[in-house]
Each structure stands twice: as structure tokens, then as C-alpha cells.
Amino acid sequence: MIPYGRQEITEEDIIEVKKVLCSDFLTQGPIVPKFEQSVADYCGASHAVATNSATSALHIACLALDLGPGDLLWTSPNTFVASANCGRYCGADVDFVDIDPKTYNMSIDLLTKKLIHAEKLGKLPKIVVPVHFAGQPCNMLKIHELSKYYGFKIIEDASHAIGSSYNKIKVGSCAHSDITVFSFHPVKIITSAEGGMALTNDKNIADKLSRLRVHGITNDNSKMKKQHENEIWNYQQIELGFNYRMNDIQAALGLSQFKRLDQYVKRRHEIAAFYDSALKNLPLTTPWQATGVYSSYHLYTILIKFNSDFKSQKHVYNELRKYNIASNIHYTPVHRHPYYEKLGFKKNDFPVAEKFHKEVISIPLFPSLQDSQKSYVVQTLKKVMNS
């Protein structure tokens, strides 16, 4: 089976991981801070806090921005459930802003309209989580402008988008947000097996993130609440946190992979360009890129028109499988999951994302995809669309 995405592990990666395995520290050693510093420098952010997943990074990001019961978090319905679940972990209510039919990202128009309406109702969100779908950055300048006017905080879910930029600004710089989160799951751009990272330019937020990642513990004397002359306090727990640490084995893999980030994104662009031209004459929609954006191309999505003379999404998806191509669907809109329907969301609440979901298929795109494999994908698609 050719998957829609997969990791590439090199000899170099194995050597770096092995070094940690043979060292004094498997966790809480020197490699995690090294990985954090490298990513922060690359993105142009002041602080980076590595975690055991993007999901935990999103959770503590919400807490660091004081999200709690009675508050509202808005995100895109066209995302992985974690972008919304982070709000629920904090006891906040979650709502969605439908997507733009061209970028498949949260629609700026609909966000603006929803904010105007919410202000009248006195129900403005505390946090908005834009998701850079497939690696294409959202219009962060516009969202940032709206945040200044309406007073909400921004967490970029950039799980797809390390290596992306807009107007030459790197995603992760937090130039137009409070916090940006990356994922290092194996299907993402680079991997640490499991792992995530939260970036910010705010020292207080960074401190809070670092603390929440280790049980709410501090070893900074100035932050300790109890000072006793004759007691030894190496650390104090000053709030309730979690064990969300990344370990040094993961960081060694992540850091080694990170050295190939730009090369990986370049390769993804080459494959995307090949698909763009090879699929041009088929009755399907290939990804559209806004001007000024450079996508990491985490996904290559094609839209199969439903109810036309052409084949349905399901037909294409199933036929591709018969030919050993494991395409995937990104995403079932979050509000359509049973958990979210139980909270009151229903079909047709976000029609653009729902229409997109009925047409979309992610076809194989990853750096180690062979030229023969990408040609095979195109040939098979042609065959399937005509069968």
C-alpha cells in the first residue's frame, strides 16, 4: 500500500537516537532544549516549549491564555478533533467558523460576520484557533487585526505547517498570534515519533507553558511561594499541571529530522507541482494557493465532484484502495462527530466544510514518495475516474 503520508528515517536519524540511548539522559537531558532552540531560531520566535504531542501543547496553550469554564473557543470545523478538544479540556465551550471554499481554511468573511453577531450577544470568543489546513497559512494579518478589535487571543494550530510562510513570514514566528503549535506525529512534515511544540514571543506565556508541562512545578526561587531558611525546596508545585514532557530520544529524532525540513518542503512542492500538471485535465479540483503563501504541503487534496457524470468520492477512494493506494479523507468536520453532536451541533451547521468533506481525498504526498509511485498514483486516478 502507498500511504497518503509517511515518515522518512535516515541513517543519520538512527545514529542521533542511538547517541541518546547510550547517554546519561533518556529524558530531561540536553537534547530537548537544543531542539526547542533550533525550531525557535528557525521560526524567529523567542520561546519554544516541546511537549509529548501537539494535543498536549494545544491544551496547555489554552490554559496559559486562561481559558476556562464559561469561556468560548472558536476554530475551523475542517481540522483534526484536537483543535477543538483543547477548549473542552479546559471546560470551555467550543464553536466553529465555516471554511473558505478556495483555501479550505477558516473563512475570514464568516469569522468577521460571526464576531459582529457575537459582540451583539455578548458572547465573544476568548480564543480563536486558526488551523493552517494542509500547510497553507491562514490570513493571519486579518485574523490578528480582528483580534485587536474584538479582544480575543490567537493560537495557531500549525500541526500541518512547520516550514510554511506567508509574505516571507515564517509560520511559528507568532508575528500575528499569541502561540503557535506544531505536531511531530509521523505523518506530519518532520517527526519525533510523537511530539509537539508551542512557540511564543511572550516570556510569561513561555514560563507558564513550561510549568504546565511539568506538573505545575517550578524550580525558580523567585516563583516559589514558600521560602523557609531551614528547609530545602528544590522545587515547588505552585499550580496544577501535567506530565506533557517530550523525552530526549524523541527530541534527538526531531532535531535530526529538522535539519532536513527545508529540503522536505521543497520535495513536497515538487510532487505537488507534478500532480498539479498531471491531473489538470481530470474532472477534479486541485489545491489552490493564495498569493504570498508558501505551503509546507502536508496534504495534497483533490475534490471529486459529487452528483456529476463523474465518479463519486467513495468510488474513487475504494477503487484506489484496490490498486494499493491508501488515500485518506481530511477531514470529517469536527462538529459531525458523535461527541460534538451530543453537545448540540448538527448536520448543515457548517455547510461549506460539509460539502468539502463529501468531495475531498488526500492522495499520497511525502518526501520519500518515488517518482514511479507518483506516476502510478496519476495513472491509477485516470483509470479510476474513467471506470
Ligand X SMILES: *Cc1c(COP(=O)(O)O)cnc(C)c1O
Chain residues that interact with ligand X, rule: CB under 6 A: 53-55, 79-80, 82-83, 131, 157, 159-160, 183, 185, 196
Nearest distance from C-beta of residue 185 to ligand X, angstroms: 4
If the CB atoms of residues 136 and 159 are measured against ligand X, the closer one turns out to be 159
Nearest distance from C-beta of residue 58 to ligand X, angstroms: 7
Nearest distance from C-beta of residue 159 to ligand X, angstroms: 3
If the CB atoms of residues 274 and 297 are measured against ligand X, the closer one turns out to be 297
Counted residue by residue, the chain has a size of: 387
Residue in the block written with cell 531558611: 229
Nearest distance from C-beta of residue 268 to ligand X, angstroms: 15
Nearest distance from C-beta of residue 337 to ligand X, angstroms: 14
If the CB atoms of residues 255 and 279 are measured against ligand X, the closer one turns out to be 255
Amino acid found at 294: Y
If the CB atoms of residues 311 and 357 are measured against ligand X, the closer one turns out to be 357
**Nearest Cα to 136, choosing from 109, 110, 159, 113?**
159
Nearest distance from C-beta of residue 322 to ligand X, angstroms: 27
Residue 381 backbone phi and psi in degrees, to 5: -60, -45
**Nearest Cα to 137, choosing from 175, 86, 194, 190?**
175
If the CB atoms of residues 55 and 313 are measured against ligand X, the closer one turns out to be 55
**Nearest Cα to 358, choosing from 302, 286, 306, 294?**
306
In this structure, the dihedral spanned by the alpha carbons of residues 204, 210, 216 and 217, taken in order and rounded to 10 degrees, is -100
Q: How far is CA 32 from CA 25, 210, 380, in A?
A: 11, 12, 43
**326 in Cβ contact with 51 (< 8 Å):** no
**In the 8-state DSSP scheme, what is residue 210?**
H
Nearest distance from C-beta of residue 160 to ligand X, angstroms: 6
**In the 8-state DSSP scheme, what is residue 245?**
P
If the CB atoms of residues 2 and 190 are measured against ligand X, the closer one turns out to be 190
If the CB atoms of residues 157 and 359 are measured against ligand X, the closer one turns out to be 157
**How distant is the alpha carbon of residue 33 from its chain centre?**
21
Nearest distance from C-beta of residue 325 to ligand X, angstroms: 21
If the CB atoms of residues 53 and 173 are measured against ligand X, the closer one turns out to be 53
If the CB atoms of residues 57 and 279 are measured against ligand X, the closer one turns out to be 57
Give me the DSSP letters along 318-370.
HHHHHTTEE-B-----GGGSHHHHHTT--TTSSHHHHHHHHHEEEEP--TT--
Longest dimension (CA), the chain: 82
For the chain, the straight-line distance linking the first and the last C-alpha, in angstroms and rounded, comes to 21
Amino acid found at 381: L
Nearest distance from C-beta of residue 43 to ligand X, angstroms: 17
Read off the C-alpha cell for 213: 508541562
Question: Is omega for the bond preceding 89 within 30 degrees of 0, making it cis?
Answer: no
